[in-house]
């Protein structure tokens, strides 16, 4: 079992990968104690000369002294070799943060499997069983990947994440070619390699917090508190909730403390945040929020009132979605979310479910249903669409 610990060995393997039609990849990381994920292991495998099996597979140790991942990043940018992942989002975030690189071209087997009829957010183990006719040893799933040396069980588990992936990729790629749905997957992958997907702008951090007031002043203070926390967590590479938790931010936005004595009255504030640079930063953030002009107040996104949603129409859209999912074999959750259906039923049209390939599968008939141009009927155990 080869584990690469030098830049030279990594470059040699990547040279082989440049000449291959595809390479399967996965990563192991930890992020419980950091803001950014700490990359601990990279797995890669190449197809064999006569099929997916039999090609070389390696582990790369990014924690090894002196190793540079530059050869890997060059491979990720090579348009001639497809980079294959399963559920790639977290891996892509790591490569984007660490190397300012997105793999191109990219193939995500989870997305492809959802398009090919394997269900919502299908897991890797399911695809290993159904497509690769293999099995996975789960004993090393929850392990400390930063500890060295790695055990034989850890390395075997990690390699299985990319060796089975070769068969899964080839079978899913063949299904997509046969169905003509490759462009659907490409449309989904375009969002995965959009830098905006991974943006963590401190100015927008407040939007992730469940606010309990729509007051402009409250939201202005909350915005500045959340901005400070995000910037502090990023600069120190610590989890944001270890700086101050969400409920404490909401409490401070309500209390609006002006002094350290005021700050000490907060019930939910961690002891470490009651003094020093965190306390100073919190008080400064409150002051900036209090000085914000009313015209610069943030606002909560408009909430869709329940009365605006036609509940009967929303229910019909759910029936239509289920019928289209069964008819096409595409996971319903990938076609449209519950929020999408409510938005359509409320008259909104700038909805993802009405765009791109989703319009072809579901969106056009959804609009026709809303306009009263089609009806839904039952035939046996299935639902059919009928023109009016």
**Domains parsed from the chain with CATH numbers:** 3-198 (3.30.420.10), 202-296 (1.10.150.80), 306-387 (1.10.150)
- Once rounded to an integer, what is the mean pLDDT over residues 57-82? 98
Q: Which of 147, 143, 25, 6 is nearest to 64 (CA)?
A: 6
Q: Average pLDDT in the 244-271 region?
A: 93
Q: Give yes or no for a cis peptide into 374 (omega within 30° of 0).
A: no
Give residue 385's pLDDT band: very low, low, confident or very high (50, 70, 90).
confident
pLDDT reading at 301 higher than 80: no
Beta bridge partners of 108: 85
Residue 141 has pLDDT above 90, yes or no: no
Look at residue 307 and tell me whether its pLDDT is greater than 70: no
Do the strands 38-45 and 57-60 form a parallel or antiparallel pair, or are they unpaired?
antiparallel
Across the range 272-278, mean pLDDT stands at: 90
Instruction: Using pLDDT thresholds of 50, 70 and 90, give the confidence band for residue 303.
Output: low
* Bridge partners of residue 22, in order along the sequence: 82
The more confident residue out of 1 and 49 is 49
Which pLDDT score is estimated for 124? 95
- 271 Cβ neighbours under 8 A, 6+ residues apart: none
Q: What predicted TM-score, i.e. pTM, was given to this entire model?
A: 0.88
Which segment, 232-236, 268-272, 297-301, is predicted with the most confidence on average? Answer: 232-236
Helices marked H in 329-363: 332-335, 338-345, 356-358
User: Which residue(s) pair with 26 in the sheet?
Assistant: 43
Q: Which residues pair with 23 in a beta bridge?
A: 83
Yes or no: say if 366 and 317 are a contact pair by the CB < 8 Å rule: yes
Residue 167's Cβ-count burial label (10 Å; 0-12, 13-18, 19+) is buried
Give how far Cα 293 sits from Cα of 171, 202, 207, 320, 341, Å: 58, 20, 19, 48, 37
The residue with tokens 């909430």 is 303
CA distances 26 to 12, 45, 58, 184, Å, are 19, 9, 11, 23
Provide the pLDDT for residue 51: 81
Output phi, psi for 69, to 5 deg.
Answer: -95, 10
In the structure, what pLDDT confidence band is assigned to residue 142 with cuts at 50, 70 and 90?
A: confident
Other CB atoms within 10 Å distance of the CB of residue 355 = 12
Three-state secondary structure call for residue 331: coil
- 253 touches 221 (CB < 8 A): yes
Mean pLDDT is lowest, of 15-29, 168-182, 200-214, 226-240, for 200-214
Q: For residue 375, what are the β-bridge partners?
A: 386
Q: Give the pLDDT confidence score for residue 302 in this predicted structure.
A: 67
Instruction: Give CA 315 to chain center in angstroms.
Output: 29
């Amino acid at each position: 079992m080869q584990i690469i610990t030098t830049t030279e060995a990594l470059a040699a393997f990547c040279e082989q990968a440049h000449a291959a039609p595809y390479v399967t990849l996965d990563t192991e990381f930890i992020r419980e104690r950091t803001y950014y994920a700490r990359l601990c292991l990279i797995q890669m495998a190449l197809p064999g000369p006569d099929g997916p099996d039999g090609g070389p597979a390696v582990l790369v140790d990014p924690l090894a002294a002196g190793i540079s991942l530059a050869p890997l990043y060059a491979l990720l940018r090579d348009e001639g070799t497809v980079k294959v992942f399963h559920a790639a989002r977290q891996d892509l975030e790591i490569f984007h943060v660490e190397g300012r690189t997105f793999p191109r071209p990219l193939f995500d087997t989870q997305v492809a499997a959802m398009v090919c009829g394997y269900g919502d957010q299908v897991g890797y183990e399911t695809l290993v069983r159904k497509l690769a006719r293999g099995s996975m040893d789960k004993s090393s799933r929850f392990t400390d990947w930063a500890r060295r040396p790695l055990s034989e069980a850890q390395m075997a588990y990690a390699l299985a994440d990319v060796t089975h992936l070769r068969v899964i990729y080839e079978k899913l790629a063949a299904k997509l070619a046969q169905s003509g749905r490759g462009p659907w997957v490409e449309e989904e992958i375009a969002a995965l390699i959009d830098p905006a997907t991974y943006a963590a702008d401190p100015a927008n951090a407040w939007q992730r917090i469940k606010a309990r007031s729509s007051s402009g002043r409250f939201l202005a203070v909350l915005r500045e508190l959340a901005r400070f926390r995000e910037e502090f967590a990023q600069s120190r590479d610590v989890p944001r909730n270890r700086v101050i938790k969400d409920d404490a931010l909401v409490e401070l936005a309500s209390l609006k403390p002006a002094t350290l004595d005021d700050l000490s009255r907060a019930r939910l504030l961690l002891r470490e945040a009651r003094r020093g640079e965190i306390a100073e930063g919190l008080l400064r953030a409150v002051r900036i929020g209090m000085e914000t002009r009313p015209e610069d107040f943030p606002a909560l996104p408009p909430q869709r009132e329940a009365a605006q949603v036609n509940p009967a129409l929303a229910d019909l859209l759910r029936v239509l979605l289920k019928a289209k999912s069964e008819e096409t074999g595409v996971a319903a959750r990938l076609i449209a979310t519950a929020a999408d259906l409510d938005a359509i039923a409320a008259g909104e049209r700038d909805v993802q479910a009405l765009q791109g390939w989703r319009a072809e599968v579901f969106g056009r008939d959804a609009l026709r249903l809303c306009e009263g141009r089609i009806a839904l009927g039952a035939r046996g155990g299935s639902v059919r669409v009928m023109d009016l």
